[in-house]
Structures are given as C-alpha cells and as structure tokens.
Amino acid sequence: MGRSVLDGSELSDLQKQIMWNRLLAVVEEQAQVCQRTAFSTIVRESGDLAAGVFDAQGRMLAQAVTGTPGHINSMALAVGHVIDAYPTATMKEGDVFIHNDPWMGTGHLNDISITTPCFYRGKLVGFLACNSHILDIGGLNDLTSSKDVYMEGLYLPILKIADAGEIDESLMAIIRANTRQPVETVGDVYSLINCNAVGCERLVEMMGEFGVTELDALADHIVNTSREAVLEKIRALPRGSWTSDLTLDGISEPIQLKAKLTISDDGIEVDYTGSAPMTKHNFNTPLCYTMAYTSYAIGVAILGDIPNNAGSLEPRRTIAPPGCILNALKPAAVVSRHLMGLMLPDLVFNCLRQALPDRIPAEGAGVLWLLRAVGPWTSPPEIGNLYMVGLVTTGGTGAIAYRDGMSVTGFPSGVRGGPVEIFESMSTIVMWRKELAPDSGGAGTFRGGLGQIMELGNTLDEPFRIGNAFERIKFPARGALGGQDGLAGQVLLSTGESLEIKGLHHVPAGVTVTMRSPGGGGIGDPKKRDRSAVAADVANGYVTASAAREIYGFED
Amino acid sequence: MSRVSQKPSMIELQVMWNRLLAVVEEQAQVCQRTAFSTIVRESGDLAAGVFDGRGRMLAQAVTGTPGHINSMALAVGHVIAAYPIETMKDGDVFIHNDPWMGTGHLNDISLTTPCFYNGKLIGFLACNSHVMDIGGIADRSSSTDVFMEGLYLPILKIVDAGRVNESLMAVIRANTRQPVETVGDVYSLVNCNAVGCERLTEMMDEFGLSDLDDLSNHIIDTSREAVLKNIRALPRGTWHGTLRLDGRDNPIELKAALTISDTGIHVNYAGSAPMTKRNFNVPLCYTLAYTSYALGVALFGEVPNNAGSLEPRTVSAPEGCILNAIKPAAVFSRSQMGLMLPDLVYNCLRQAIPDRIPAENTCGLWGINVMGPWDSPAKIWNRYRVQVMTTGGMGALPFRDGMSATGFPSGVRGGPIEIFEQMSTLVVWKKELRPDSGGAGRYRGGLGQWMEIENTIAEPFDFFAGYERIENPAKGADGGLNGARGELLLTSGRRPGGKESFVVPSGERIIVRSSGGGGIGDPKLRDRSAVIADLESGYISREAAAELYGYVD
C-alpha cells in the first residue's frame, strides 16, 4: 500500500486496536462462510460452530461471536494439539489438518475440527481454526446407549486432510464411507476447509494493507491487553474460596458434582475434585469441554465485554482429577458430554453467588431439551424407511437478583430452539401443543423463566420412539436467597406412564407424549414480588390465580 | 530358464499348478504365524489365494473358512473395478473391509496386492483375516445398521508404490479397541501377500514364464471341466427345500430351489424371508460362499477351488431378501444365517441323491462370548473380553454316524478351555458330550456339548449369545429322528433368548447345551453293537436305548 514493510514492532497502539478489530471481522467472515455453506442443519439453522484466528505459536487472537461455548473455548486449545502432533517447521502452505478427537477438540466425535496454517510471503504467520457439528459420524445413533467412544462413530486422529494443497482422497473416502449422510458430511468438511481458506486470505490481505510481515507484536498486544483487563476485573472481586455442589438426574443413579472456586490475584480457579467418577453411560466429559463451559460461565458472569482469546482465557483455570466424570479418560463414552457440561455454569454460579449475590442468577434448566423422534414413514412400516429427527427445545433460565429469568432460552448453550413446522415436515409426528408452562418458573421476588409444555403424537397408526436425553426431571433448578425452585421437567405418556429415565422409549400407536421442560429457579421471597409484576404474570397466564394467591400472597 | 517362447507341456502345467498351491499355502502360513488376532492364530479364520492378471482365482490355501475363501474369489474383481489395472504400480497394496465386496462383515480385512514380474502386472495375491475388534458396538447382537458395526474401509491403497499410507494406518489404529493387534494384523496381511508374490515370481523365473496366461487357462478350464463332469453324472431337475431358523423376534423361513443342468448347479433363494432389523442380514457374496462350499463338499470335494471350479455354481437371491441384504443393513452376525445354508442346499440335494447327503447339522457355531470385570468391586474399563469357540453335532450320513462337537461347515476349531479360563475370571465347571443329543437313527446324529460356566469372583458378567437351533432342531432324514435342540439357561431357571446379550448374576451358572445333528434311518434298524457302544460311551441313556432304539439287554 505504498508504505514501508514493518515487522509489527513499530505499530502504534491505535494501529494495533484497528487491526484487532479487523481480526474480529476476519473471523466473523470466516464463521459466516462456514454457516452459509454448511450442509448440517444444526450448523446452518442453529449456528453450532466456532471459528477463530491464532498466532504462529497457536495462541487464539480472535474468535467469531457466532458459536456455542463448548465449541469456542475448546477450539482455543485445539491448535496447540495440532502443533504438538506436527511441528510448525514441517508445515507447508496448503496443508490442512483435520481431527475429531474428543480429548483434543470439543468433547465428542460429531464435531469436526479443521486447522489451517496461514502463510504470508512463504512464512507461517498464524492459523485459522474452526469446527462444526455434523449430524452423523456413524456409530450408535440413539444418543443414549453407547458404552465407550468406539461405539460413537468414526474417530479421526489429527491428520492432514490436505497436503500442500492436495486433498487426501483416501481420507475423504473414509469419511464418506463412515456416515449415514455422506453428501452432507463431506460437504461440511469442505465447508470448514473453505472457511479457513477465506479467513487466511482476509488475514493476509490485512497484513498487506498494514504492511506487517508477522503477527507477533499484534498478538502480544491482544493477549496482554486482554489478560490485563480480565485480571483487573478479577482484582475488583472479593478474594477467597467458595464450595458448592449440584445433583443431576444421571441414569442409574444421581450424579453429584462438586466445585471449589477460588478467586485470587492471578485469576479464578475452579476445582472439581470430589465430583462423581466416570460412568458407564455416555455423558462422561473430557476436560477440554469441562474447561470450555467453566470459563464461559466465569466470562459471562464477570468479564462480559472482554473478547475471548488466549489472554482473556488464561486467568481462568479448571482442575478435575483424571477419571472424574468431568475429566473422563479415553475410551469413555462421551457423545452426550453436554448433559454434564451444560450444567457446569449452575455449579460455578452456586460458588460465585456466595461471593457476589447481587450479580449471579439462580439455577436454570441448563441442558437443552433436544427432542429426538424415530419412526416409520409408512404404515405398515418398511425396513430402512425411517425418519430420525431432532428438535431443539429449551427450558427457563434462573432469575437474577434484579430481573426475572428468561423463559425457554438456551442458556448456556446459546443454541436456538427450532421451528415445529420443520420438525413436523421431517417426520409423521404432529405437535399438538407447544406453549409456556404456567407456574413452571420458580416463584420469587424475581421469578425464574418458564419451561414449556409440548404434546405430540403420531399421525400414523404406528408406534414411534422418543429419546429422553434430558436433565432436571428428578432434581429441579433450585431457587436462591428465599426464591423457590423451578418446576422439574416431566415426560408422560397419555397412558399415564412416565418416561423419566434417559433412553430411547417406545410410544405405542395412538398414544401421545406430553413433555414439560424445566423452569428456572426464583430469587428472593415471592411475597416481596412487585404486585404489578404478579398481576401481569397472572394476566399473561405465566402464574395461575391459585399460585398467585398461595405462593405470592396476591389478593386481587 | 530358456523356454520363454515355448508353450508349457501338460506335465509342466500340472507341476506349476501344484507349485501354486504351495505358494498360497506358504502365503497363508505366513499370515497365520504372524497374526495378532487369536481367532486367526489359533483357529485359522483367514483365506489366502493367487489370482491371474484378470482377477481370476487360480489357487487358494486349504487353511481357512468357506465364508472367507469363496468370497475372496470375488474380492479381486471389485479391486480391479475400483482401480483399473493400468493405474496399478509395483508396490501398491489395496485394503478394504466392505461387507458387500469382501466377506460380509467389517471385522474381516481384505488385502489385495498386484504382483509384478519384469515390470509387468502378472497377477494378484489376495488374503483376508478376522480382526478381533474394529470398533462399533461390542455386544454382537444389537447393531441395527452397518454404521454401528465399526470402521468401514472402502477399497483404498494402504501402500502406494511401496510407501505405507500412514494416515490410513492412523485411522485404523484410532478406531479399534485393540490398536496394536489390529495394525499388526494389517501388516501381517500385507506381508503374506508380499511373500506370496515373491514365491510366484521365483516360480516364473524357474519355469521361464513371462506371464501366467497359459497356466491360468489350463487351471481354470481343467477345473471347470472336472466340475461339469461331476455334475453331468447327477440327475437333472429342480428340487425345493426349506429351512426354518430361530431368528430373533420371529422365526426366519428360508427357501431354495436347486437346479441341476448340463451347465451347472443353480441355487435360487427366492421366497426366503426379507431383511431383518437385526444384524444377521447376509450380503450376497457370503450367501454365494456358503452355497458353493456346500455343493463343493458334497459333490466335488477333490476338485481344487478356483475361478473355474466355482463358475458352474451359481446363486440368486432377490435384492432385499435376508440372503441378499442391501447396504446399510446390519450384517455383523451374517454367519448366523450363512452357516445354515449347507443344510438348506442339502434339503434340496437329498431328494436327488439321498445316498450321499447328510441329515441336518448344527451348522452354527456355539461360541462362548463373555465380558466381565477383572476385579471385585469392578473398576470401569478394567475388564476382559474373551471368546472360546464351541460346536454342536453334525447330521448323520446315510452310511456313517454324524460327528460330535464338530464345526461344520465353518471348519473353525473348538478352542481350549484352559486359555479361556486364563483370559477371564470364569471357570468352566463342565464341558462334555451331551447324552441323547444326537438324533436317533440307523446312523446317529453327532452329539452336542454341555457346558456350565460361573464367575470365580463375586461379580456379574456379560454373556453375548448368538445361537441357532434352540427353537428349531436339526431334522433327521429318512426315518431318523431330530437332534436335540440347543439350550441356554441360568441356574435360576431363566432362559435367555438365543441371540440375546444378558447378564449372568454373581453366584449363578450359565448352562449352555449345544444342539445335536439329525439321525438317518429307523433307529430300530441301528446295528445292535453300535447301540451297545453308544451306551457304554454314555452317548445315549438306557431309557433312550430302550424307547428309541428298542434295545433290551
């Protein structure tokens, strides 16, 4: 651009800030390319992906806002694993690395991670990385019955999917052969490769424009500034250690999780020692995923406006003993690791609330209520002619000490609820009812968010199966500071039978299923709730007249 | 060494043919001696063969099971269809475990190596063997499609001009619970083909051949002619047979029409049950393998297996039938149907040549397949998984008693209990021939076995059953009685399903009684000294001798 070429060291702080913002635009475009070209519906419609730019040492500099915490914060570590496996000195322009190792990526095989070294003037200047959730990677597809990771599908160690620009067709053929959706899955791999390529192109354009030949100075600026900003926020908090626990439904027995959160000058540490051991079921959680949701919880509660990067993540540390359910070891079954991971913010908040009662919400629904249905397209059924369809539904979030919880909102996943119309058109199921569940939000000065009631049945005179991979059926979201618990979830057949255990359940022909997702916990004494808010809740049908009277002491 | 241009004489061709049989036998021995998988090492669950430049099988090792051998005959054709011959280079090696292009399930890995002589592709060495773990569901009974059954390798180059594809090897290593053994087995297979190729080119050197064309035409034409000659001595016509199997949720009805004509024998399975949602669907290659084996062993046992001798044996089954299952059907336990096919073929053939064909057999294997913790209390992941092969009785022949506890048609050997006990915490309290299980007849069916197994530690263990002939016994023929049904029960009295995975509670024994073979002819006509010998050996009880054989001492 007419300017002399700089190695970056002469950049002013102003220039660095501008380039930092530019990097955020680079990764946002990278993520958009992935989302717009993805074949997987959960990527396309719900944004289940992550994309980021890294420096030559593998430190994350910026990440797209699009994405879920489990993907984003674990991706921050993925590039380090790639560098460990393939020294940067051996990397060539046009190389692209692939893996879906749950322990080096995002915790289960369905997420494919792609890492692309980015070269400028023949020199490796950084990495673009991304990952997304593909709908099928082979293996068991009921989401509940795997007993080890080998039952969960194709396991790709860190490998070169492109070598100096040439696609490894053997590897692509293996991916194609090991999924029930070969077109979509291979398409998603190309989509990921391509979004990194676009990111690299934009990064190189930026470097040309600003006349820098390496990112080191910019990287140091981003990482140091962010770390310092996080530490500054942390230093404003009370020091100390707080412990708490959380009991989850599990399958054969409840799962007890424990945490000790310590705030010190150099950061926040969460230690999960004392939590339950690994289970024989499939909701064991690799440490990378535990870290992802722990640092997300801390970030969203305390450090909201600081961008996610290696610097801002560094002061947040997670510890869990090997073999604990939150540091599960290979070959544990991990496909449903989100059943534990998505609950971790509640556990972290149960600690933090003791330190900062005015800023931390009560417990919420946590886990998504991902409805899965499997059934025949025809009556009588034909072998192989089945639909298998998923619908993301959500429960209520916990109240905050100054605001009601949000109803049917996917916290902490950030994954959107899906439209019923698409679900119905992809199955023979009809959704008779999907509405907010009255009285499901925990009562309080500030009320918990509401869950929802859904009633569904088959339009064919055939049985179908419904997958329960839900939480908070036995243990509701607890209220705080005198607020009441949210209503627990429920899955009932019209015959009266309860499907409260996780698993794929049979729904006989002619029988309907009623699901109620859990509500969030309330905060503060319900009797102190603003009377106009109670009146509005009754008018909206959020609270029944009898609950208003009995719990809120409301006389109209 | 100087007769390159001359046509080899008939004697030379025969000598070279024998030499080829030695080549493939050495190839198979290399595989078996270097294999890591116990079922290959101890029970010979493998196949090895040499093929000409067009992919026609010329010779195969005697070692091996029919399901591997006869399906391997077609595998090289699939490789050539995927990678045209002119693109193949010296040092290329192809791998696959596609059930529809190999041996019917993902656990068998097939290797195909083009063999070059003086820079020219002159033939192929092929082999396959059973690896113990290829990922996927581990319980043998619950997969409902092929994607649940493990790593699926399409036809790929595992070695490209002498260079191993390390990415592919890394994928194999990452997708098995036994990475050392499985990768070791792949190298063992690569290597046995290499040894075969070396021996083949040595032979060509020695005999001064530049290609195998004359030799392969000789082998194929001679073998085809020998088979056709055997067939032409048989009565012409079409005979129908049926076979009812236990299946899982409901019985499986198989039907066959066998036609003997001048041009060969055709078995048509139209009318057999459709594919099931369970995992004993059978790809056509495996149906073909056990059908042609049944015909071979009954009618032309002395003719070696090759493209020529296999050609006159043809099979058809409608697409979507359980014997021509279509991808992505679950096929892991395809042997539960496939191993039974000889009985069905014989139910047809017996009508044509009653004096040569046995009564129904046990056919299916009675493997004891268990998994349990090494410790009490159990620790997650510290567990054993072990299998020992056991067998039931064969059907009687019209001139001889059936063999007891013999793995027909698989040819897989029963395994030693001592090894099984050492590889688990279990003890086998009993493993003995099961009295009165052989179908009574003038010639008695072979006996099944009676086994009782219990844990030595106070823990439950998992038992993975995959048995046939619990509901439907091996039928007798020509007035002979049926063999005894198989039985599976716990000491509590519970009777688990024959294809169920279940838990054997601590302190309980699992009792496994494998089925017996059918008898042939009226038991009353059985030679009295044979009845006495059976009594003395404990093969039959005094009551059975009196009631069924009419024997009074």
Contact B274 A383 (CB under 8 A): yes
B158 contacts B168 by C-beta, under 8 angstroms: yes
Residue B413 and residue B370 in contact, taking contact as beta carbons nearer than 8 Å = no
Under the phi-then-psi rule, with left for phi > 0, alpha for psi from -120 to 50, and beta for the rest, what region is B127? beta
User: How are beta strands A490-493 and B426-433 bridged, if at all?
Assistant: unpaired
Per residue in A313-365, pLDDT tens?
999 999 999 999 999 999 999 999 999 999 999 999 999 999 999 999 999 99
Q: Smallest Cα–Cα separation from A350: which of A254, A451, A478, A236?
A: A478
Task: Enter the tokens of residue A150.
Answer: 């080998």
Q: What phi-psi label fits residue A143: left (phi over 0), alpha (psi between -120 and 50 degrees) or beta? A: left
What's the farthest any 2 CA atoms get from each other in chain A?
78
Which of A100, A148, A150, A163 to mutate to probe the B interface, most B CBs <10 Å? Answer: A150
Bridge partners (DSSP) of residue A133 are: A111
Backbone angles phi, psi at B75, to 5 degrees: -60, -40
For residue A118, what are the β-bridge partners?
A126
**C-alpha to C-alpha distance for B20 and B12, rounded to whole angstroms:** 12
* Euclidean distance between CA atoms B39 and A185, whole angstroms: 35
* Complex-level ipTM: 0.91
> Which chain B residue's Cα is nearest to A383?
B277
User: Is residue B39's pLDDT more than 80?
Assistant: no
Block residue for tokens 């989509």: A191
- The answer to whether the CB of B305 falls within 8 A of the CB of B74 is no
Smallest CA-to-CA distance from B105 within B62, B73, B135, B63 is with: B135
Q: What is the mean pLDDT of residues A60-88?
A: 89
Residue A548, sorted as left (phi over 0), alpha (psi -120 to 50) or beta, turns out to be alpha
Which pLDDT band, with edges at 50, 70 and 90, does A7 fall under? low
When comparing pLDDT for B5 and A232, which is higher? Answer: A232
**For all residues of chain B together, what is the average pLDDT?**
94
Q: Is the pLDDT of residue A47 over 80?
A: no
Average pLDDT over residues B131-142: 89
Partner residue facing B174 (CB), from A155, A173, A177: A155
Task: Write a three-state SS string for A323-344.
Answer: CEHHHCCCCECCCCCHHHHCCH
A134 CB neighbours in chain B (<8 A) are: none
Instruction: Note the pLDDT of residue B240.
Output: 98
A43 closest CA partner among A105, A136, A107, A128: A136
**Residue with tokens 């290659």, as numbered in its chain:** B285
pLDDT of amino acid A8:
60
When pLDDT is averaged across residues B172-181 and rounded to a whole number, the result is: 94
pLDDT computed for residue A2 by the predictor? 40
User: pTM of the predicted model, to two decimals?
Assistant: 0.92
- Which chain A residue is nearest to residue B143, measuring alpha carbons? A140
**What pLDDT does residue B321 have?**
96
Question: Edge-to-edge, what's the strand order for the sheet holding B383-388?
Answer: B383-388, B368-373, B461-464, B501-504
pLDDT at B545 over 90: yes
Averaged pLDDT for residues A222-234: 96
Q: Pick left, alpha or beta for residue B349 (phi over 0 → left; psi -120 to 50 → alpha; otherwise beta).
A: alpha
Q: Which residue has the higher pLDDT, B64 or B276?
A: B276
- Sequence-distant (6+) residues with CB within 8 A of A532 are none
Backbone angles phi, psi at A344, to 5 degrees: -65, -35
In chain B, residues with a C-beta closer than 8 Å to the C-beta of A148 are 138, 177
Chain centre to alpha carbon of residue B443: 26
Asked if B157 lies within 8 A of A170 by C-beta distance, the reply is: yes
CA R_g for chain B:
24
3-state secondary structure of A346: helix
Q: How close does chain B come to A284, measured CA to CA in Å?
A: 12
Cis before B377? omega within 30: yes
To the nearest 10 degrees (0 to 180), the angle between helices B10-34 and B213-232 is 90
Condensed to tens digits (0 to 9), the pLDDT of residues B510-538 reads: 999 999 999 999 999 999 999 999 999 99
Q: Is B403 exposed, middle or buried (0-12, 13-18, 19+ CB in 10 A)?
A: buried
Per-residue pLDDT tens for B457-490?
A: 999 999 999 999 999 999 999 999 999 999 999 9
pLDDT at A3: 47
Is there a contact between B474 and B343 (Cβ–Cβ < 8 Å)? Answer: yes
- Measuring CA to CA, which residue among B93, B94, B39 is closest to residue B67? B39
Q: Which chain A residues are closer than 8 Å to B165 by Cβ? A: 170
Q: Which of A140, A155, A170 sits opposite B156 (nearest CB)?
A: A170
Provide, as residue numbers in chain A, all residues whose Cβ is less than 8 Å from the Cβ of B156.
Answer: 170, 173-174
Distances (CA, A) of A461 to A159, A375, A377, A420, A431: 48, 11, 11, 21, 16
Cα–Cα distance, A175 to A154 (Å, whole number): 8
What number is the average pLDDT over the span A480-491? 97
Res A223: pLDDT: 97
Distances in Å between the alpha carbon of B172 and those of A157, A541, B130, B135, B179?
A: 10, 57, 14, 9, 8
Which of B133, B167, B459 is the best mutation test for A, with the most CBs of A within 10 A?
A: B167
A362-387 per-position pLDDT tens digit: 999 999 998 889 999 999 988 778 88
Tokens representing residue A343 in the block:
């609950």
Residue B101: closest CA among B79, B127, B126, B134:
B79
Contact between B482 and B421 under an 8 Å Cβ cutoff? The reply is no
- Residue A168: CB atoms within 10 A of its CB come to 18
- Contact (Cβ atoms closer than 8 angstroms) between residue A377 and residue A386: yes
How far is A487 from A251, CA to CA, in rounded Å? 20
Instruction: List C-alpha distances in Å: B10 to B16, B306, B307.
Output: 10, 18, 19
Average pLDDT over residues B327-355: 96
Residue B2's pLDDT band, with cuts at 50, 70 and 90, is very low
Percent of residues in chain B assigned helix, strand, coil, to nearest 5: 30, 20, 45
For the cut 80, the answer to whether the pLDDT of residue B147 exceeds it is yes
Query: Looking at CA atoms only, how far is residue B301 from chain A in angstroms?
Result: 39
**C-alpha to C-alpha distance for B377 and B393, rounded to whole angstroms:** 39
> What is the arithmetic mean of pLDDT over B20-25?
94
Contact B97, B68 (CB under 8 A): no
Q: Is the link from the previous residue into A438 a cis peptide, with omega within 30 of 0?
A: no
B401, B358 Cβ separation under 8 angstroms = no
Start-end of H helices in B136-250:
166-174, 179-207, 213-232
pLDDT per position as a tens digit, B363-413: 999 999 999 999 999 887 788 988 888 999 999 999 999 999 999 998 887
CB B520 within 8 A of CB B442: yes
A517 to chain B nearest CA, in Å?
A: 30
User: What whole-number percentage of chain B has pLDDT above 70?
Assistant: 99
Distance from C-alpha of B217 to C-alpha of B12, rounded to nearest angstrom? 14
pLDDT at A9 over 70: no
Task: Give the range among A85-99, A103-117, B114-128, B375-389 with minimum mean pLDDT.
Answer: B375-389
List the single residue in B with minimal CA-CA distance to A173. Answer: B154
- Residues in B whose CB is inside 8 Å of some CB of A read 98, 133, 135-138, 142, 145, 147-148, 150-154, 156-157, 165, 167-168, 170-171, 173-177, 274-277, 328-329, 380-381
Is there a contact between B337 and B323 (Cβ–Cβ < 8 Å)? yes
Task: List A166's β-bridge partners, or say none.
Answer: A163
Query: Which DSSP helix (H) or strand (E) runs through A223?
Result: helix A216-235
Q: How many interchain CB pairs under 8 A, A with B?
A: 92
pLDDT at B505 over 50: yes
Q: What percent of chain A has pLDDT over 70?
A: 98
Specify whether the backbone of B9 is left (phi greater than 0), alpha (psi in -120 to 50) or beta: beta
Instruction: For residues B411 and B304, give the distance between their C-alpha atoms in angstroms, rounded to a whole number.
Output: 17
CA distance A18 to A12: 10
Buried b (16+ CB within 10 A) or exposed e, B168-177: bbbbbbbbbb
CA atoms A81, A83, A86, A87: torsion sign: negative
Q: How far is A78 from chain B (nearest CA, A)?
A: 18
